[in-house]
A = this chain, B = another copy of it.
Amino acid sequence: MLIGELARQTGCEVETIRYYEREGLLSAPQRSASGYRRYNAEQLGELNFILHCRSLGMSLADIRQLAAFKADSSLACDDINQLIDQQISKVHQQVESLRLLEQQLLALRDRCHDHHTVAECGILQTLVEASEGEPCVCHTPFGQDPHPHHPSVEKQ
């Protein structure tokens, strides 16, 4: 199986497969006389493992870890559980901060209903006023502390 066929079977782009190999996630495949990569069922499994973990939002570093555990099955699995727990709490935090963000955006959106000129747009007014130090609907929707702004979302 050539790389294009593997890509078709997994739905993964050819360039991404080569990238995973470069990153040491996928073991280097055999090569044909002309240098083409030849894959077998084992590497199909390897790639599907990676894609499955990626679809669970895991980083490539996490996946490398998991693959190492897979290789040495006599180890204790506490580290696996911890890895998943960390992933869960990371995702949970992201959900929470994005939900807050959505509320803030909805409050901001509520400042402009009809279409008129920019000069009268409540959204832009709110944003400008906030930049001048006044409290804003988006960040103080329910009478919370006015400012500071920054750490609403930690990573995007």
Contacts and interface: CB of A to CB of B under 8 A. Distances in A.
Given A55-B149, A80-B124, 6 more contacts: A49-B128, A69-B118, A69-B124, A70-B128, A76-B115, A88-B106
A76 B132 contact: no
Contact of A118 (B75, B105, B133, B136): B75
Q: How large is the interface on A (under 10, 10 to 19, 20 to 34, 35 or more residues)?
A: 35 or more
B72 A85 contact: no
A135 to B, nearest CB: 12
A101 B91 contact: yes
28 contacts: A11-B150, A46-B131, A48-B130, A52-B130, A52-B131, A52-B139, A55-B153, A56-B101, A56-B105, A56-B138, A56-B152, A66-B127, A69-B124, A70-B124, A73-B117, A73-B119, A74-B117, A75-B118, A76-B115, A77-B115, A77-B118, A80-B112, A81-B112, A81-B123, A84-B109, A91-B101, A95-B99, A95-B102
